[in-house]
Structure 1
């Protein structure tokens, strides 16, 4: 009898130890990979989890580990932004319209959990914010005139070696001093100021506003070809290579991608040469290679695929629009999900977004 009680006590201790070890493993090795909305729900699991999730160090670690695209902000010109996700239970923000900001804004760019927005009124001030924590910062006024519709790209790359939240803003704008030329101005959060680059790209092709993408230290904008600006080398170049004018640029697996509809299918191409910005002007070398040719699941879309339009591409997800409907396609799982009705306006903008706890 005494031996049986000792055995039960031993097994109970063993079970408790296994539970504690599993809880610790989950807390340290699984939680940082979850989106912010899920983590907020887990604050009530236990005191240890709440303390863990609430620390700045955890938020920093989560901003590094949780790098997948978990949703998209959308905005119709003149209206408040909204948020959509293929998994609304796991991913979301408390105020998708961003009314916590001091004035009405347009969303311009997104990078690893941070948004760059611009005021609709006054001097058109830039704001950087995290829609999850509702923290925000107003940036100083630029030195140059960026125009009514600035081609701005936000760059935030969290690093284990840098606990500070360092980000940059790059704007390509028409030169006021030279005809048929584009200049660049960069804001650095580390310096807290704007600086106009000495680099000038002489081209008669204008940059398509709100088309910019940052990949491996190079910012690309759609134009008649691709305008590339290398931040490290402070060098720009117009790459006259094929890409669809109706497609979108994005980043997939560390490479620049272009996605556009062809009939009932979607062509996804990736940049074949990651150092293509060093190629000679007017080169005929092949820059793009096909990655996927996608056909949406007809059972999900409820009939024949027609009038497809790819409106966003990031991570391994494509956001595809039909008249009045949105779908997300996962290139890894090959699954198509319906996201419901949406605006039919072609000017509606969709910005990929990562659900991050990053502190400003």
Structure 2
């Protein structure tokens, strides 16, 4: 780009159509789709770009446009978090250890650029933060006891009609009043308070606190099957599924998906009906569809793939761990790529998809 030319310069009329230079088109129609780290690099392009990228309106617009997962946080128990991306030049945060928060935390959930963290000590306070802007808020204490490993899911859906970040936090916790029962508590940023739902799901099976995911207004957790909670209906349901072993829940093309290893292959399945939670599903074949079998590139993984474990399934990507190394597989391009392993590794390391967003708290 010609730095001597002011971006947005009007170039004239032709056939009653107004023409603008390329920099204006990029500034207005391309920049909002870029991740935060790339945008910070473009602050030095020119004064107009810097002014635009720095405005709250642009940050709001970017949080809506840039919705694809660009990286993920990883954290082993007792260790600080770190961030990994298949394109480190495009995705990153100033402080991946989250030292801007007032105390050490564990990352519990993430949604469209926001993180839900919980204090490692004291009263286990919840924090909502944006690691790009270092903005954070401490949430009030919940009404219920969520336990040592809370099954919390952060829900943040950017909207053009709502300039302020409107998010919810949903926790499934063991009932203190009923045996073999799960209850739900929801925090609303709009209300600024917690509320225990009247919904109670009687089941002898506990939920996996690390498995929670939100898709189309429904929160799902792995249990003996799937525990689904619909926020709008304030209704829960236990869905049957016959998967076993190491499998993960994810979201692909707006649908719930599951992914697991079968020998050298990875099987990806998508929810057959987006409104499955409203029906009584009783068979594995009716619940899942679009089974896809994936085999990682042997040249990239270094020979025959052994004991793969899927740790993330989101968007069009799978993140797979093998022999203490991480690989990302793109379902569209069929490409396998090795990732830099985070400093802290282990069987209990948690991996959480992350979107590099400028959203303001």
**TM bucket by the smaller chain?**
over 0.9
Is contact 2:164–2:360 with CA below 8 Å preserved after alignment?
Answer: no
Name the residue aligned to 1:256: 256
Is contact 2:84–2:341 with CA below 8 Å preserved after alignment?
Answer: no
Instruction: State how far apart, in whole Å, the 2-side matches of 1:334 and 1:29 are.
Output: 29
Is contact 1:243–1:258 with CA below 8 Å preserved after alignment?
Answer: no
- When residues 337 and 284 of structure 1 are mapped into structure 2, their CA distance, relative to the original with a 3 A threshold, is closer
Tell me whether 1:226 sits opposite 2:226 in the alignment: yes
Higher helix fraction (1 or 2): 1
Name the residue aligned to 1:5: none
1:211-242 per-position Cα deviation (integer Å, ceiling 9, x unaligned) = 10000000000001000000000000101123
Tell me whether 1:34 sits opposite 2:28 in the alignment: no
**Residue ranges of structure 1 left out of the alignment (5+ in a row):** 1-14
Q: Give the TM-score of the pair, scaled to structure 2.
A: 0.93
Match of 2:11 among 17, 33, 57: 17
Q: Give the TM-score of the pair, scaled to structure 1.
A: 0.93
Shift of 1:17: 2.5
Name the residue aligned to 1:304: 304
Query: Helix, strand or coil for the counterpart of 2:41?
Result: helix
Instruction: State how far apart, in whole Å, the 1-side matches of 2:33 and 2:357 are.
Output: 10
The 5 A counterparts of 1:254-293 are 254-280=254-280, 282=282, 286-293=286-293
Shift of 1:21: 2.2
1:249-304 per-position Cα deviation (integer Å, ceiling 9, x unaligned) = 01111000001111111000000011111112646761001342111111111111
Instruction: State how far apart, in whole Å, the 1-side matches of 2:99 and 2:21 are.
Output: 42
The 5 A counterparts of 1:135-150 are 135-150=135-150
Is contact 1:115–1:128 with CA below 8 Å preserved after alignment?
Answer: yes
Greater gyration radius: 1
- When residues 88 and 81 of structure 1 are mapped into structure 2, their CA distance, relative to the original with a 3 A threshold, is same
164-173 vs 288-297, greater mean Cα deviation: 288-297
Instruction: State how far apart, in whole Å, the 2-side matches of 1:268 and 1:162 are.
Output: 35
Is contact 1:237–1:281 with CA below 8 Å preserved after alignment?
Answer: no
Is contact 1:268–1:291 with CA below 8 Å preserved after alignment?
Answer: yes
1:305-359 per-position Cα deviation (integer Å, ceiling 9, x unaligned) = 1110001111111110001211011111111110134555210000000000000
Is contact 1:74–1:350 with CA below 8 Å preserved after alignment?
Answer: yes
Name the residue aligned to 1:48: 48
Query: Helix, strand or coil for the counterpart of 2:93?
Result: coil
1:117-173 per-position Cα deviation (integer Å, ceiling 9, x unaligned) = 000011000000000000000000000000000000000000112112100000000
Name the residue aligned to 2:5: none
Shift of 1:16: 7.8
**Residue ranges of structure 2 left out of the alignment (5+ in a row):** 1-8, 13-18
Instruction: State how far apart, in whole Å, the 1-side matches of 2:89 and 2:264 are.
Output: 31
Instruction: State how far apart, in whole Å, the 2-side matches of 1:16 and 1:25 are.
Output: 11
Name the residue aligned to 1:7: none
Name the residue aligned to 2:353: 352
**Aligned length, in residue pairs:** 346
Instruction: State how far apart, in whole Å, the 1-side matches of 2:114 and 2:27 are.
Output: 24
- When residues 318 and 283 of structure 1 are mapped into structure 2, their CA distance, relative to the original with a 3 A threshold, is closer
The 5 A counterparts of 1:198-217 are 198-217=198-217
